[in-house]
């Protein structure tokens, strides 16, 4: 059985939606960032791994963790970090699975992200908003291309989960 993979920008709600979706469908929920931290094995957060070892090392760990999860026989709900689908290797790994792009308006995303402070992945030579806009412009077309379905997270978790379940039932 295929895995259900949730993709989208940071703070769009992939984790909370994924947990609820897993409950509703009776599946296990996994977060790729947590899997990366475990695979790294040094008790560091993803942000700390990027800061100490660089983004390339982090992305290598991320691709390895993704490949490991996708090999499992149990069909899971998996939330990916916002940048995971930017890798062509990861895009290829995802092709055989049901990929759902969870989206929200750029303004809503920017506001949610900035509540947690400036992310490590924002370009240091740009203002917060310009760094966000640059990343959004780069990532959004890749999310669109990688997903089988797109769902707006505009009315909350319950509504978004219901939309996803409806789509899954109509396509199975």
pLDDT in tens, 11-42: 999 999 999 999 999 999 999 999 999 988 88
**Residue 168, in any domain of the structure:** no
CB 13 within 8 A of CB 157: yes
**Is residue 86 within 8 Å of residue 9, measured between CB atoms?**
no
* 164 inside domain: no
Domain membership flag for residue 19 = yes
In the chain, % of residues over pLDDT 70: 98
pLDDT score of 1 more than 70: no
- At 172 the pLDDT is 62
Q: Report the range of poorest mean pLDDT among 17-26, 93-102, 118-127.
A: 118-127
Q: Does residue 28 sit within a domain?
A: yes
Distance CA 51, CA 57 (A): 10
Residue (of 164, 12, 16, 29) closest to 100 by Cα position: 164
Distance CA 53, CA 105 (A): 32
Query: Total structural domains in the chain?
Result: 1
List residues forming the annotated binding site.
11-16, 33, 59, 82, 118, 139
| Binding-site residue ranges for ATP | 11-16, 118
**Which positions make up the binding site for Mg(2+)?**
15
**Could you tell me if residue 30 is inside a domain?**
yes
Determine, yes or no, domain membership for 169. Answer: no
Task: Report, as an integer, the average pLDDT of 59-76.
Answer: 93
Chain centre to alpha carbon of residue 70: 14
Q: Which residues contribute to the annotated binding site for substrate?
A: 33, 59, 82, 139
> Is residue 149 in some structural domain?
yes
- Range(s) of the domain holding residue 20: 4-158
Residue 137 belongs to a domain with what CATH number? 3.40.50.300
Residue 172 has which token pair?
A: 């199975």
In a domain, 92, yes or no: yes
């Amino acid at each position: 059985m295929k895995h259900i993979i949730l993709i989208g920008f940071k703070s769009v709600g992939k984790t909370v939606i994924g947990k609820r979706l897993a409950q509703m469908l009776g599946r296990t929920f996994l977060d790729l960032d947590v899997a990366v931290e475990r695979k790294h094995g040094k008790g560091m957060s993803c942000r700390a791994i990027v800061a100490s070892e660089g983004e390339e090392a982090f992305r290598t760990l991320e691709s390895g963790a993704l490949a490991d999860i996708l090999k499992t026989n149990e069909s899971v709900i998996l939330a990916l970090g916002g940048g995971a689908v930017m890798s062509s290797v990861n895009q290829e790994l995802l092709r055989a699975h049901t990929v759902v792009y969870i989206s929200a308006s750029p303004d809503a995303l920017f506001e949610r992200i900035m509540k947690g402070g400036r992310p490590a992945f924002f370009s240091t030579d740009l203002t917060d908003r310009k760094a966000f806009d640059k990343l959004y412009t780069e990532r959004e077309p890749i999310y669109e291309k990688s997903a089988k379905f797109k769902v707006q997270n505009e009315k909350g978790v319950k509504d978004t989960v219901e939309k996803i379940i409806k789509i899954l039932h109509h396509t199975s």
